[in-house]
Structure 1
């Protein structure tokens, strides 16, 4: 995730980064510009259409559809941002729940060896969930001296949560925790799985295909018909105008595509690595 100062107004205008849509759209913008120039040449030089041609009235269609396409794009970007923000809320909850679990264990447990195990297990859940959401390879080795299993598990976060719950239950059977303390810790451990399920719901449920495909088609045909009518009013200046309109509309769709899955490695995705490191640091401070 990019860090920036939102008060630096003019720096945003002249700065380009790998997450900027301008870089991604340059080849298509060049093609749209060439296409607009070709339409302008045909209408002005080759066909020599007059100002009374019915082709000029195509702009009426663009005026009517402009409001529709703006509504669709607003809904698209708002939906994508809601998914991004919900993902951030879930990881914020994971930070708080990790701290709460560490605080309670620090008070309830007296054995340093037991504390050391949770000092490693709690941050491990965040790190493994991060890799799990990015579909990255996850090693069986949690620590230098402990493994998840000799076999392969498809869902590693569940195995870490299971290990934490098994340890809590073991402490209860050994008399190191009371029944009331077991109930309190049980709720904290269960919250980890709830957060994991919410993140998986965001990741595995994209925007419906038909809706996303319709917006792309709408933008394409809207932009491709722009030169026909506006050549009469703008002449060859229609080329930069159409290119700019395409840049604005296509950029909104690209931004929505990027942020609707906030758990990837794009420039605007959530900083899960940094959040995981913060959880590790906080837990180690509490379970010293």
Structure 2
């Protein structure tokens, strides 16, 4: 996720880090080359094939239709991004509520409270690694017992196994008289909320936008941007080398932004800062029970935090 202060509008014109220019620079150079070639060959084309010369009106109609399709695709992508952010917000709320309940219902059980806080932090990190398809062992080893770490890492769905272990921990506390049946029921509701949040995140991660739709948008945008200089050159001449790349920048940038935010759990600059969110959850629950967080806040590198 990009984290940087608000800039003056003039400075925003020259921002490189955090924009999509690095991803589309090669394609913009290609559009510029086609623009120059179109203007240089204009006289020959008009003399040899005047009847088939392109003009601006067809590209105006095509541009409107393409803008509508890109807008729809970006809306769908942002909806996935925003839903993912809401689920992690719900996860934070449920983790805080569960920690508050165990601290309120069993004040003498300090060790139990801190163990629950560590397990909740481990759950957040396990979910992060599952969504990013990375190894959770290092983040779990500093928060859980070795036997539980091995059991969780051997599972196909580590977050679900951790919630099962946490549920058994609370059930054992109820059998030992540390909490009552009604208190266990209240805490179980938050465990269910954690399960729902993790399941929703898995649904988003495992159900991408159909690949054929992505191929269609990419081809349409690229063909439109390459044909546009041919139509503009007959009307505005050398200004084509300025106008065509600018229009191409708009369409190509929208296409790339849609691709980036449709997978919100990745590590690209515009994806969710899952490591920072995990640290926030851990710091929040540990503070409630007097436990020391096992992680430090992720550093911001080139205005990007992961």
Residue 68 of structure 1 and its aligned partner are, at CA, apart by 0.7
| Distance in 2 of aligned mates of 1:81 and 1:197 | 19
Match of 2:10?
10
Aligned match of 1:269: 271
- Residue from 112, 115, 128 that aligns with 2:113: 115
How far, CA to CA, are the matches of 1:221 and 1:278 in structure 2? 45
Give runs of ≥4 in structure 1 deviating > 6 Å: none
Residues 122-172 of structure 1 deviation map (CA, whole Å, 9 limit, x = unaligned): 111112211221111121635364432545222111111111011011112
**Cα distance, 1:265 vs structure 2:** 0.9
8 A contact 2:99–2:288 mirrored in 1: yes
Q: Deviations over 1:235-277 (max 9, x none)?
A: 1321222222111101001011111111111111112111111
- The residue number in structure 2 matching 1:229 is 231
Q: Secondary structure at the match of 1:261?
A: coil
TM-score (norm 1): 0.92
2:215 pairs with 1:213? yes
Query: Matched residue of 2:217: which SS?
Result: helix
For residues 11 and 74 of structure 1, the distance between their equivalents in structure 2, rounded to whole angstroms, comes to 26
Separation in structure 2 between the aligned mates of residue 128 and residue 73 of structure 1, nearest angstrom: 35
Structure 2 CA distance, aligned partners of 1:68 and 1:37? 26
> Is 1:25 matched with 2:27?
no
Say yes or no: does 1:102 pair with 2:99: yes
Is this contact kept in 1: 2:128–2:274, CA < 8 A?
yes
Q: Matched residues in 2 for 1:202 and 1:8: separation?
A: 35
- Alpha-carbon contact 2:119-2:143 (below 8 Å) kept: no
* Alignment check: 8 A CA contact 2:55 2:235 kept: no
Q: How many residues align?
A: 285
Partner residue of 1:37? 36
Q: What TM-score, normalized by structure 2, do the two folds share?
A: 0.87
Residues 1:239 and 2:241 aligned together: yes
The alignment's C-alpha RMSD in Å is 2.0
Is contact 1:55-1:228 (8 Å) kept?
no
CA distance, structure 2, for counterparts of residue 261 and residue 33 of structure 1 = 30
Q: CA deviation at 1:193?
A: 1.2
Match runs of 1:1-288 below 5 Å: 1-6=1-6, 8-17=8-17, 19-44=18-43, 46-49=44-47, 53-109=50-106, 110-139=108-137, 141=141, 143=143, 145-148=145-148, 150=150, 152-288=154-290
What residue ranges of structure 1 are gaps of 5+ in the alignment? none
**Structure 2 unaligned spans of 5+:** 291-306
Q: Take 1:116 and 1:63, find their aligned partners in 2: how far apart are those partners? A: 63
Tell me if structure 2 keeps the 8 A contact 1:125–1:161: yes
> Is the CA contact (8 Å cut-off) linking 1:142 and 1:148 kept in structure 2?
no
Instruction: Report the counterpart of residue 302 of structure 2 in structure 1.
Output: none
How far apart in 2 are the matches of 1:149 and 1:274?
Answer: 22
Mapped partners of 2:248, 2:34: distance in 1 = 12
Say if 1:164 and 1:243 are closer, same or farther in 2 by CA, change over 3 A.
Answer: same
Structure 2 counterpart SS, 1:14: coil
Between 7-16 and 77-86, report the one with greater CA deviation: 7-16
Contact kept in structure 1, 2:56 and 2:231, CA below 8 Å: yes
Task: Measure the CA separation in 2 of the matches of 1:71 and 1:212.
Answer: 15
Whole-Å separation in 1 of the counterparts to 2:93 and 2:8: 32
2: CA distance between counterparts of 1:248 and 1:154? Answer: 42
